[in-house]
């Protein structure tokens, strides 16, 4: 499905990003595994190479425009092109609004929203030059409905920004043959969410028609679809992968 394609997945040393990187490699793509933790990124590269696919690990902070430019250049120097960008890197803040420090708010916005903007900006030049590309942003249902239950208003605001930015960029990029879509997961079982109190997890599960939390592989499958030619006539789409949470 993705044979011969080259993809960058930010924050792919673990969790959802790792699942996306492995799923795309299984579909035939060359992978740039991006993370700030090179040990975990290297482990993912080893898993991909064990499949007989090509991959490299690139350390880059998504809040640094210079590091992102270097990552894009490294990708093109190694694989000759960039077909797919998955903006997955993100952090969460779970505090009531009255307890959020301004610096904490800024950090979440820098990683979750500004990081998406900077990566898209850097990827647009090579994608425009080849008149084609797929950008998939990992947002959250919290960006649609808020996330007050977990005290993650800051996180929700950042993901709401990703949704609006995705729609705007889709309009700008369509004439260049570039598809820009986003996926909005609900609660997904990752290292980032395992610190959430069990009673809150149980409450969330009861809200889901499918009766279970999401797995990283659930998100990875949807990303592979949006990265493939099967989604060529989709852009500006915000796809819920949420166990039915938003079906009401």
pLDDT interval class at 223 (50, 70, 90): very high
pLDDT interval class at 151 (50, 70, 90): low
pLDDT interval class at 193 (50, 70, 90): confident
Q: Please say if the pLDDT value at position 150 is more than 70.
A: no
Q: What is the dihedral of CA 88, 135, 241, 228, to 10 degrees?
A: -120
Would you name the residues annotated as active-site residues?
Answer: 155
Nearest CA to 24 among 160, 220, 174, 188? 220
Q: Please say if the pLDDT value at position 51 is more than 70.
A: yes
Q: Strands of 6-9's sheet, edge to edge?
A: 55-59, 30-35, 6-9, 84-87, 133-138, 178-185, 238-241
Considering just the CA atoms, what is the radius of gyration of the chain in Å? 17
pLDDT interval class at 205 (50, 70, 90): confident
List of residues 6+ apart from 227 with CB closer than 8 A:
2, 5, 7, 24, 29, 84, 86, 134, 136
Domains of the chain: 6-241 (3.40.50.720)
The pairing of strands 238-241 and 6-9 is unpaired
List of residues 6+ apart from 228 with CB closer than 8 A:
1, 2, 27
pLDDT interval class at 248 (50, 70, 90): low
């Amino acid at each position: 499905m993705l044979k011969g394609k080259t993809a960058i997945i930010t924050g792919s040393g673990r969790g959802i990003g790792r699942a996306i990187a492995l799923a795309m490699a299984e579909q035939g793509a060359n992978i740039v595994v991006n993370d700030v933790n090179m040990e975990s990124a290297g482990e993912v590269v080893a898993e991909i190479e064990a499949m007989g696919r090509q991959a490299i690990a690139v350390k880059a902070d998504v809040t640094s425009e210079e590091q992102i430019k270097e990552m894009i250049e490294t990708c093109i120097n190694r694989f000759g092109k960039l077909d797919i960008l998955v903006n997955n890197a993100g952090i969460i803040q779970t505090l009531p609004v009255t307890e959020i420090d301004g610096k904490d708010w800024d950090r979440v916005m820098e990683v979750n929203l500004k990081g998406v903007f900077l990566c898209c900006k850097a990827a647009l030049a090579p994608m425009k030059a080849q008149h084609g590309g797929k950008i998939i942003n990992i947002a959250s249902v919290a960006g649609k409905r808020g996330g007050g239950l977990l005290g993650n208003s800051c996180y929700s605001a950042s993901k709401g920004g990703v949704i609006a930015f995705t729609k705007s960029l889709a309009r700008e990029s369509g004439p260049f043959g570039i598809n820009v879509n986003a996926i909005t997961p609900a609660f997904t079982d990752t290292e980032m969410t395992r610190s959430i109190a069990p009673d809150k997890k149980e409450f969330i599960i009861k809200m889901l028609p499918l009766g279970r939390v999401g797995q990283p592989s659930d998100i990875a499958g949807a990303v592979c679809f949006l990265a493939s030619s099967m989604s060529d006539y989709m852009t500006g789409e915000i796809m819920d992968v949420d166990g039915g949470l938003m079906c009401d």
